[in-house]
Structure 1
């Protein structure tokens, strides 16, 4: 299967895409991992969660002005609609998702 470009990954009609910009050496990023797993599980097939390693994808991180990690960016129809840097609790992520995820 060919590897998809970042724009192909975030351009998901009808399904929001939550992108976690992280690095393997980042402690707070490791704290976010189980929170994002919980959020993904709660939203089943209504949300795509992807992780982007900023060390391996510097151009994408620069394009979206990621200056600290972890940074979460929610994309809806290919456009960024919400972003938050640092460790974010699951309820705050759920609140940001609410307008874009059909319950």
Structure 2
């Protein structure tokens, strides 16, 4: 089940890489549902180069965190999860620093 994979991702450090075809299929579902951010990579050396061979999850979205809470994942398990909200905050901080340096 895709939500089990989302739980597993929430419990592990990000970014996380996956190569199992079953995991990649589940990641595509979670990504399409807007629950996480992921990059899917095809092996250029493969004769079937359109087939995805690897995926990297970079963040769980706020929607993904809400879904995890809705299925009973305790907040204590989600505290360390890097969400898109964290990434946006970090980008804003870096932009403000860059502006201060360029003045």
Q: TM-score, normalised by structure 1?
A: 0.27
Report the structure, 1 or 2, having the larger strand content.
Answer: 1
Q: TM-score, normalised by structure 2?
A: 0.27
Larger RCO: Structure 1 or Structure 2 (Cα < 8 Å, ≥ 6 residues apart)?
1
Report the structure, 1 or 2, having the larger helix content.
Answer: 2
- Tell me which structure has the larger Cα radius of gyration: 2
